[in-house]
Structure 1
Amino acid sequence: MSEEKLLEETDSLFDAALFELAYEKQVVLLRSFMWSKPITTDDDEDESESSSAEYPTIPPVYNIDLTRFYIRGCTSDPYIQFLSFYHVAEHFFLIVSDGALYKKMSSIINDRKFKSNKPYLDKLIQSVGDHKAESKEEEMLKSVMIEFLDEDELIAEIARIERDAGQKIYTSKTSCFGYDLEKITLQKSHLFGPLSKRIKTIRNALVHSSDRHERKNRYVPGAEANQILKREIPLMKYMAERIIIRDSTARP
């Protein structure tokens, strides 16, 4: 193995170990330093349970960019947490969206009856047109969620988060930074659309802190804003973990 390849493999193993420490033990290590104490979250497992977990001898190959976003999200600042975990899903926006278009166009072109005539060319044009209409970030987020998240598991996780919090964070209508957030129904085929809309709305409030149409502030840093945003973090963290793990591959 060449020196360059060896360094690349070592780098991959190192980042995989950092991710698994953060994911399984809530111990956050960075390349240059270690936090003064392990960073814990509200959904930490009981110490007796987590201490019995066994790590695989060789971790899978994770996407290094995604694990670094995840580790960046393991901080005490809800603003950084939300956006870091959001970036994990955002990484796949174009990959998943374009992949669906390629699949649709391939099925048209690979049809034995395909000819370069108007009906078939119209189908290709329609596919591209539909793709452009679905290229809004909210739709792309929904596509990523469908691609990587199991709907039954997601429903169970939301129910657990609400149970632990003692409040209906998602299953009742509420507001966040001046935006109305609709009630989410925990039923299959009724989850991904409303949830992607909610997440995108909050993300926009953080990134575009002032509404240029209504001329009012949306998000202003502070203790009150942190408390509002903190309730969204457990689900964002869960989604980031599922995406990273399901994108991973076995190490050769």
Structure 2
Amino acid sequence: MGTANSPAVNRDALLNGLRLIVRRLSTVEEGFAVPIPGYGQKDDSIAVLSESEIETTIQNLKALKSNTENSFFWLNKAEFTLVPLNPHGLFERYLDGVDFTGQGDNPVTYTVGSPSKEVTAYLLCLISEKPDIVKQPRWTMLRNRIRKVALRVGGEIDGQASLLDLVAEAFYTVTLKIESTQGGLDYENLANSFLFHTAYNMDLAARIGPDPLFAPSRIQGARRPSCAEFDPPRQTYGSDLVQHYLMGVAAEIPLLEYLSFYHIAEHYFEKVFNDDLIEQVRKGITDPSFSVRRAKDIQAIIRTVNKAQRQVKEEGGVNEQRALHLALERFVDIGRLVTDLDNYDANLVSHYRENGVPFAGASKLDLTLADEEAVRSSMAKRIYKVRNALVHAKDGDLPKYAPFAHDDELSKEIPLMRFTSEQIIIAHGKVL
């Protein structure tokens, strides 16, 4: 079962994950429980996770034919964690709990809702293996939500509540379950077809992907981990740049995240390109070898301007890779960039040095070279090639990005673009 990155799935891991998120977890005769005040005829009753339920759930997980961090495949069914893309939870609220069953001799049933016991147990095992996840501020809210769900459930049901079902609802995680009487189906293809159908017919969108709630927030760990260390701003920043930055931070889709940060650099392309042209002309006419009385000297200046204008005309704008290089040269400190990357993930700098970006045809990048001009040149080429692969989707020989399939590769490029964009914003800040 699983992949190399899958957590260990067993009773101890499940219970350890449960203890990290459920307050007042206690041992009872049936197994493990959390009190639900006011439930039933007692002042303090319980939602229970029995030993038999633990055993059955773990065995069901071990019966998986295969799985990734967001896709779980059994013989006659599959379950996918989703990242809803509509605001205000419209996707899950509208579709929650409704069974959509197809026609034919072997109908397929689709259900959107909270995770199954098996996927909930998997997520608890993941938490057990990565306990830093629950130190993030959003998990304080989730623990409080578990209590609220417990209070509500206590007033709605007769008999004991399953603790796994209670946790599943509190997680906010959305999954798509697919079941069929026929085995061996391409469940991922069926899932994507269902998601297209809901988007086409109801304008409700979601994608298959891991719940961001279970991803560690490296940025917070590298910056200000608590409100006590948070200071108000001492500079103001351009509204256009801030809006692009906020879009990048909030984006659930790596493509949108990368391009939002890229747009911050792009904002200054025309300015830095024109400033560079002006500087070239200024150097030319102030050089001691230049004479206004020699036609060839004037013609050399004209050629410089004409070459730049021709590039703009042929490319429909400034030479973007050259402009990106100039923006990096003017606004980005490579030493600070390396420090930010190291604080975020100590493996990233070596990753860039040892790996290109296959889907973009981009070369390796060594940020530790002493020659900063060479670093900026390589960095501009890598960033620009990634950008081109994201925005060019037509058939042909050029490298291009495949949505979702290349997200893991792209996710490693995002910190480089994000920290670059942050320096550009800060460089244009105005002191209050």
TM-score where L is the length of structure 1: 0.70
Partner of 2:325: 142
Residue identity matched to 1:97: F
Where does structure 1 lack aligned partners over 5 or more consecutive residues?
1-25, 28-35
Contact 2:334 2:367 in 1 (8 A): no
Q: Please state how far the C-alpha of 1:114 moved relative to its aligned partner.
A: 4.8
Distance 1:121 1:250 in 2: 43
How is 1:156-167 mapped onto 2 (pairs within 5 angstroms)?
156-161=339-344, 163-164=346-347
Q: Please state how far the C-alpha of 1:239 moved relative to its aligned partner.
A: 0.9
Name the SS of the counterpart of 2:237 in structure 1.
coil
Distance 2:424 2:354 in 1: 26
Q: Please state how far the C-alpha of 1:129 moved relative to its aligned partner.
A: 4.8
Residue identity matched to 1:51: A
Partner of 2:380: 196
Partner of 1:60: 235
- Which shifted more, 66-75 or 203-212? 203-212
Larger Rg: 2
Distance verdict in 2 for CA 1:111–1:205, change over 3 Å: closer
Partner of 1:77: 253
Distance verdict in 2 for CA 1:149–1:183, change over 3 Å: closer
Name the SS of the counterpart of 1:171 in structure 2.
helix
* Pairing partner for 1:225 from 406, 409, 413: 406
Contact 2:269 2:323 in 1 (8 A): yes
Partner of 2:295: 118
Q: Please state how far the C-alpha of 1:176 moved relative to its aligned partner.
A: 2.8
Name the SS of the counterpart of 1:54 in structure 2.
coil
Q: Please state how far the C-alpha of 1:219 moved relative to its aligned partner.
A: 1.7
Q: CA RMSD in A?
A: 3.4
Q: Please state how far the C-alpha of 1:116 moved relative to its aligned partner.
A: 5.3
Where does structure 2 lack aligned partners over 5 or more consecutive residues?
1-136, 139-171, 173-211, 313-317
**Percent identity over paired residues:** 24
Name the SS of the counterpart of 1:170 in structure 2.
helix
Partner of 1:174: 356
Contact 2:238 2:428 in 1 (8 A): yes
Tell me the matched-pair count: 212
Q: Deviations over 1:223-244 (max 9, x none)?
A: x322221111112111111100
Q: Deviations over 1:39-87 (max 9, x none)?
A: 984322266456313214xx42311111110011112221111000000
Distance 1:178 1:60 in 2: 36
Distance 1:146 1:40 in 2: 32
Contact 1:158 1:170 in 2 (8 A): no
Q: Please state how far the C-alpha of 1:177 moved relative to its aligned partner.
A: 1.5
Name the SS of the counterpart of 1:202 in structure 2.
helix
Distance verdict in 2 for CA 1:98–1:180, change over 3 Å: closer
Contact 1:146 1:192 in 2 (8 A): yes
Partner of 1:6: none
Q: Deviations over 1:114-136 (max 9, x none)?
A: 52541331231243256456952
Q: Please state how far the C-alpha of 1:178 moved relative to its aligned partner.
A: 5.6
Contact 1:78 1:226 in 2 (8 A): yes
Distance 1:64 1:242 in 2: 15
